[in-house]
Amino acid sequence: MSILSLLLKLSSGWRSKKSNVDIVCRSSSMIVKKFKVEGLYIVCSTDVVKHLRYMQVLKIWDILPDLCSIQSLVNRLDCFFVRHTDGFIKLCCMKYFEGNLEVPMIWPASLDVIRYKDLCVTSDSVDDVSKDESYVENSKGRELVLPFEVTDEEMEAILYNRSTFIAGRSGTGKTTVLTMKLFQKEQYYNMAEEGLYAVEQSSGGFNATVLRQIFVTVSPELCIAVKQHVSNLKRDYDFGKLWC
The domains of the chain are located at 2-107, 123-243
Is residue 124 pLDDT above 70, yes or no? Answer: no
Task: Please report the pLDDT score of residue 200 as a whole number.
Answer: 55
The model scores a pTM over 0.85: no
| Residue 78 scores a pLDDT above 80 | yes
Query: What number is the average pLDDT over the span 95-121?
Result: 81
Range in 40-44, 98-102, 152-156 the model is least confident about = 152-156
Q: Which residues does 238 contact at the CB level (< 8 Å), separation at least 6?
A: none
Residue 229's pLDDT band (boundaries 50, 70, 90)? confident
Instruction: Say what the pLDDT of residue 118 is.
Output: 57
